[in-house]
Amino acid sequence: MRLILSSRYPRNSTYSTETGQVLYKVNKPNTFNDGIATIRKVVNTINGVWQGDLQSQAIRPQSPHSDTAVAEQGVQEWGSLNPYRSRDSQDARFADSDREEDDPHNDHEGPSTASGLPSPDLAQYAFCAQVDFRFLTPTRFYYNGLNVPVTEYFRKEGWSAYGRGRVFKASDGKEYRWQLSLGPIEMIRNDESKERVVKYRLYRPSMGNIVKGRPPSLEVDDSCIPILDEIIMTFIYCHKLREIRERIHSLLLLESQPQD
């Protein structure tokens, strides 16, 4: 499965299939290091009543943050149920933020929805998860009834250029590890096979007939589709983590350069 991002910034993008079906919408307000990234998921509704997600048509597990509040707008706002919720995370046509708003290269519009599939503006959304980025205390995940710091959700394992990998146990009972390597981040099975099951592909601009451009995307092994919500949530966090580590690494390299 290939999910195409509508911008180069995973924390402010829609995630669509290759046929143009929007599955997720992620929005993070314009802050530097902290702030809440809200993940919403496209759902089927009839007269405002949730019918199950578009991927599986299955009823997802009950959560205090889902289902009933979808009625009027098709959007689950985690209001009084979540005291940590950012008031800036309201549904709206969101501009790129988190240092991303005026980037002249951010012109990828994502896949066409002319096939009749829901567009980002017309689709019905339900709350899926939030990543509460914090500067002085551990970042927290709010997902399916959980309110947990990343220090408890993940454990550190292995080494790479940008720090130790982040291991978590998914709802399928299996362990997975995000690799913070030199290339784009990827997720592997945390077992003897070390099979790669998720790979992030970076945006590539078009250069005439020489180089064909491509939008950023997440390539997900079909066996991991049942844990797609968890993949999106952990990817949002690990991508940010790797981004920060890369920035620090670049600054250290600059400082190590001989002075004239």
Residues 206-236 have pLDDT tens digits of 777 777 778 999 999 999 999 999 999 999 9
Residue 49 pLDDT level (bands cut at 50, 70, 90)? low
Give the domain extent around 222. 2-256
Rounded distance, CA 16 to CA 110, Å? 8
Of 62-76, 125-139, 157-171, 205-219, minimum mean pLDDT range: 62-76
**Cβ-proximal residues to 245 (8 Å cutoff; 6+ apart), any chain:** 162, 163, 180
Comparing CA positions, the residue from 94, 101, 98, 103 lying closest to residue 33 is: 98
Q: Distance from first CA to last CA of the chain, Å, rounded? A: 51
- Which pLDDT tens digit goes with each residue over 2-37? 999 999 999 999 999 999 999 999 999 876 668 999
pLDDT value at residue 43:
85
CA atoms within 13 A on the CB side of 204: 12
With tokens 């670049």, the residue in question is 250
Cα R_g (the chain), whole angstroms: 19
Q: How many domains does the chain have?
A: 1
How open is the CA angle 249-260-182, to the nearest 5 degrees?
15
pTM (predicted TM-score): 0.72
Q: Above 50 in pLDDT, residue 202?
A: yes
- Sign of torsion, CA 39 45 50 52? negative
- Structural element, H or E, at residue 230: helix 228-256
What are the two backbone dihedrals, phi and then psi, of residue 8, each rounded to the nearest 5 degrees?
-80, 5
pLDDT value at residue 120:
56
Comparing CA positions, the residue from 11, 23, 69 lying closest to residue 240 is: 11
Q: Above 50 in pLDDT, residue 192?
A: yes
**Cβ-proximal residues to 8 (8 Å cutoff; 6+ apart), any chain:** 100, 103, 105, 106, 108, 202, 203, 216
> For 134-149, what is the mean pLDDT?
94
Comparing CA positions, the residue from 117, 120, 164, 137 lying closest to residue 27 is: 120
> For 115-140, what is the mean pLDDT?
80
3-state secondary structure of 128: strand
CB atoms within 10 A of CB 175: 15
Comparing CA positions, the residue from 63, 174, 177 lying closest to residue 126 is: 63
Q: Check: CB of residue 138 under 8 Å from CB of residue 150.
A: yes
> For 168-188, what is the mean pLDDT?
94
**Cβ-proximal residues to 33 (8 Å cutoff; 6+ apart), any chain:** 133, 135, 244
Rounded distance, CA 38 to CA 83, Å? 14
